[in-house]
């Protein structure tokens, strides 16, 4: 399978969100990554349900919703209703992770687990069969435009091994600081999905930048 690209609308122009979503519709993007921050789990507030719904109204690509919030289990139904195709909850915010993943799948959505840079991938050993996607943070969650953490390559290789050991079909998504320089190395290590916010939206020609990321071959 060729890799997938998930541009993050966190870096879009919120006053021209419809225009930016329509740009993504025309691009090679596979998903639209939607970052929800609550100012509690992470030290920043992005946007919430009504904005997710507004994105969904114009989107022709599936929404990949990344919940950087406390008690994500309380908002699964609401984000399903707001148009999510995938919902990722943070390992660090989920004392009942297995139950939450089941609840996401029960709604017919793809279930994701997001892990912070300090979180060891071996902690996913007992839930990998219940996980469609691991959103591996390659920056500390909360802000776009941060510097990529190099340790991520090692973690991708470890996670790839864990997935293979269990014969699971979980996708590995990399989120934070992704650009055209680290993309080949990430794919080589075993990444399946690349999230990119600033690199896409701050570029002169976002459609072309998405194409560039899509065309990376290893
Ligand atoms: C960070 C978010 C990321 C962010 C990525 O907390 O989860 O999805 O939008 O942005 P860049 O690509 O600018 O690091
Ligand atoms: Zn994200």
Q: Under 8 Å CB-to-CB from 175, ≥6 apart: which residues? A: 8, 33, 66, 114, 135, 136, 137, 138, 139, 141, 195
CATH of 4-215, one of 3.30.300.30, 3.50.50.60, 3.20.20.70, 2.40.50.100: 3.20.20.70
Q: Is 195 in the pocket of ligand 1 (CB under 6 A)?
A: yes
The confidence score (pLDDT) of residue 66 equals 99
- Across 32-55, b (16+ Cβ under 10 Å) vs e yields bbbbbbbeebbeeebbbeebbebb
The confidence score (pLDDT) of residue 94 equals 98
Helix (H) or strand (E) holding 64: strand 63-68
Could you give the CA distance from residue 163 to residue 121 in angstroms, rounded to a whole number? Answer: 10
Please determine, for the modelled complex, whether the ipTM score is greater than 0.90: yes
List the pLDDT tens digit at each of the 218 positions of the chain: 799 999 999 999 999 999 999 999 999 999 999 999 999 999 999 999 999 999 999 999 999 999 999 999 999 999 999 999 999 999 999 999 999 999 999 999 999 999 999 999 999 999 999 999 999 999 999 999 999 999 999 999 999 999 999 999 999 999 999 999 999 999 999 999 999 999 999 999 999 999 999 999 98
The confidence score (pLDDT) of residue 119 equals 98
The confidence score (pLDDT) of residue 170 equals 98
The confidence score (pLDDT) of residue 1 equals 74
Annotated catalytic sites, by residue?
35, 175
Could you give the CA distance from residue 131 to residue 110 in angstroms, rounded to a whole number? Answer: 8
Query: What does the angle CA 87 – CA 89 – CA 90 come to, to the nearest 5 degrees?
Result: 155
Specify which residues 115 forms β-bridges with. Answer: 136
Query: Two tokens at 156?
Result: 């991708």
Half-sphere exposure of 110 (CA within 13 A, CB side): 17
Could you give the CA distance from residue 144 to residue 137 in angstroms, rounded to a whole number? Answer: 12
Report whether 176 belongs to an annotated binding site: yes
CB atoms within 10 A of CB 109: 20
* Domain layout of the chain by residue ranges: 4-215
The confidence score (pLDDT) of residue 160 equals 98
Q: Which atom belonging to ligand 1 lies closest to the Cα atom of 142?
A: 6
Query: Two tokens at 51?
Result: 């904005």
- How much distance in Å is there from the Cα of 143 to the middle of ligand 2? 9
The confidence score (pLDDT) of residue 190 equals 98
Q: List Cα–Cα distances, 157 to 96, 97, 154, 169, in angstroms.
A: 26, 23, 5, 15
- How much distance in Å is there from the Cα of 213 to the middle of ligand 2? 17
């Amino acid at each position: 399978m060729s890799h997938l690209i998930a541009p993050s609308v966190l870096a879009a122009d919120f006053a021209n969100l419809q225009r930016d979503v329509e740009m993504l519709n025309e691009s090679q993007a596979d998903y639209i990554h939607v970052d929800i921050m609550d100012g509690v789990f992470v030290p920043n507030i992005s946007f919430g349900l009504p904005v997710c719904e507004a994105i969904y109204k114009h989107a022709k690509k599936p929404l990949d919703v990344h919940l950087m919030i406390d008690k994500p289990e309380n908002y699964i139904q609401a984000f399903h209703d707001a148009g999510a195709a995938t919902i990722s909850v943070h390992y660090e915010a989920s004392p009942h992770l297995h139950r939450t993943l089941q609840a996401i799948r029960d709604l017919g959505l793809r279930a994701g687990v997001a892990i912070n840079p300090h979180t060891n991938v071996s902690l996913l050993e007992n839930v990998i069969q219940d996980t469609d996607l691991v959103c591996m943070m390659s920056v500390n969650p909360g802000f776009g435009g941060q510097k990529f953490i190099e340790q991520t390559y090692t973690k991708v290789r470890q996670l790839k091994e864990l997935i293979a050991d269990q014969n699971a079909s979980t996708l590995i998504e990399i989120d934070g600081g992704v650009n055209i320089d680290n993309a080949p190395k990430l794919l080589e290590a075993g990444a399946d999905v690349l999230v990119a916010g600033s690199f896409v939206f701050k570029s002169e020609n976002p459609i072309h930048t998405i194409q560039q990321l899509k065309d990376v071959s290893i």
